[in-house]
Amino acid sequence: MRRPCATAIALGLLLTAGAARAQSSAGADAFDFLRLDANARAVGLGGAYTALATDSNALLYNPAGLARVRSSEATLMHNQYALGINQQYIGVALKRGLGFQFNYATLGDVPRTTIADPDGTGNHLNVSDTSLGAGYGWEMSPDLALGAGLKYFTETLADVSVSGYAADIGGLYRMPDIKGLVFGASLLNIGPPVKFASTAEKLPTTLRLGTAYGLKIPHNDVTLALDFTKGVLDKIRVGLGAETVFDEHFAVRAGFTTRQDAGVGLAFGLGWIGRKIGADYAFVPMGG
């Protein structure tokens, strides 16, 4: 599927760990927005994208994918979550190597709570997160690609703002004897703890391992993907996705993830792949 310039639109009803942390003082990691999906195709595949990220979203999942971008492209994404959470993402990948990203998420006005007023003081806090990043991918051989990235991020909670740096590394390996089979691995958000108020918060460093298999049948391209992710303080999470593309233009996707903050775990997606521009949509239903 060729995408010289892709515009991705993600509209998901999804409760994130970041929202839970903003409204509760216990049990969640800092800088959770660094782990948010910001790609409608990946969301529709249950987050199973480590071996498929050979596009302008590579810096989110596996920077090695930048080495396999054949035409310069850009992604523009708006993500609408539950509880008024909004996310905007811009990703740019230049032909064979260089990539950039901008990621912004806001939780809007979150009720302020204290020990004396656990139900709220009547005041509200503004919570927002921003990151800027760049990376590069190297084609080491026809089958092996490696990549690395660096990002600067800030998190603001009311009148308190902190910032830091994190690195990402990754690799992709295409099986030479099995056409269409790819393995991917990445380690994301590598960096030292960042002091937030009086507490040193660990970054959400995450290991991703994935595989994908693509095959062609008459008039259709079919892709199957499987991912395992492990965060510093998380259990192993599994993502599974399937995609079929009809006549090289219309894509239908379905996925499943064991992420506890991803609704009921199911995901669905649609996509249109044009010669110069494409559009993707993903929907994640919330549980009852």
The count of domains in the chain is 1
Dihedral pair phi/psi, residue 279, rounded to 5°: -140, 140
Is residue 5 domain-resident?
no
Sign of CA dihedral 107, 112, 113, 114: positive
Is residue 2 domain-resident?
no
**What is the pLDDT, as a whole number, of residue 286?**
64
CATH of the domain at 179: 2.40.160.60
**What is the pLDDT, as a whole number, of residue 95?**
85
Separation in Å, CA 42 to CA 22, 142, 148, 214, 225? 25, 25, 20, 15, 10
Q: Residue 84: left if φ>0, alpha if ψ -120 to 50, beta else—which one?
A: left
**What is the pLDDT, as a whole number, of residue 115?**
67
**HSE-up of residue 138 (Cα within 13 Å, Cβ side):** 7
Sign of CA dihedral 28, 155, 50, 8: positive
Is residue 106 domain-resident?
yes
Sign of CA dihedral 13, 16, 19, 23: positive
Is residue 10 domain-resident?
no
**HSE-up of residue 8 (Cα within 13 Å, Cβ side):** 29
Is residue 9 domain-resident?
no
Cross-strand bridge partners of residue 57 = none
Structure tokens at 218: 């008459």
Is residue 3 domain-resident?
no
**What is the pLDDT, as a whole number, of residue 268?**
92
In whole angstroms, give the CA distance from residue 59 to residue 284. 23
Q: What are the per-10-residue average pLDDT scores of the chain (288 residues)?
A: 41 32 40 84 94 94 95 86 78 91 82 66 78 97 97 86 94 95 97 83 93 91 96 89 92 88 76 84 73
Is residue 181 domain-resident?
yes
**What is the pLDDT, as a whole number, of residue 107?**
76
Dihedral pair phi/psi, residue 286, rounded to 5°: -85, 155
Q: Is residue 282 packed enough to be buried (19+ CB in 10 Å), middle (13-18) or exposed (0-12)?
A: buried
Is residue 1 domain-resident?
no
Q: By residue range, what is the domain housing residue 129?
A: 17-283
